[in-house]
Amino acid sequence: MKIPTGAVVDPATSLENETGTWRAQVPVYLHEKCTGCRLCEWYCPDNCVVGEGKHFEPDLRYCKGCGICAQVCPVKDIIMQAEAR
């Protein structure tokens, strides 16, 4: 890819930038007590939590492991674990 003038680029380049490599901790969605409140989806600063009904998952290509989803989950159905590399 050639960098255009002023690095002014087409939209959606964040899809190419897989920030999952930044992660030190990984959220684990337990799928035991989910009420389908969608707080994990709404609070995710990377917009990488996807799902419907009572089943959500982070897209680990982009999830930076910030832990906000685990923090806001009202039923503690998401836990953070050390990233295994």
Partner 1 sequence: MSRFELMEGSKAIAEAVALCRPHVISAYPITPQTHIVEYLAKKVADGETQADFSTVESEMAAASYVLGASAAGARTYTASSSQGILLMSEVLYNLAGMRLPAVITCANRAVSAPLNIWNDHQDSMAVRDAGLIQLYARDAQEAADLHIQAFRISEDSRVELPVMVCVDGYLITHAFEPVELPEQAEVDAFLPPRQTDRKLDPRHPLTFGAFADQAYYMETRFQLHQAVLRSRSVIEEVGADFTKAFGREYGKHVEAYRADDAAALFVGMGSMMGTVEDAVDELRAQGKKVGSLRLRTYRPFPADQICALIKENQKVGVLDKSISMGAGGILASEVRSALHAGSMRTPVTGFIVGLGGRDVTAETISRLLQRLEGPPADAVFVDLKPDLLGDLAETWKSTWETVATTQRS
What residues make contact with partner 1 under the rule CB under 8 A? 3-11, 13-14, 17
For partner 1, the closer of residues 11 and 53 by Cβ is 11
Nearest residue (CB) to partner 1, 1 versus 82: 1
Parallel/antiparallel/unpaired status of strands 49-52 and 55-58: antiparallel
Minimum CB separation of residue 25 from partner 1 in Å reads: 21
Identity of residue 76: K
Contact 28, 78 (CB under 8 A): yes
With respect to partner 1, which residue has the nearer C-beta, 9 or 24? Answer: 9
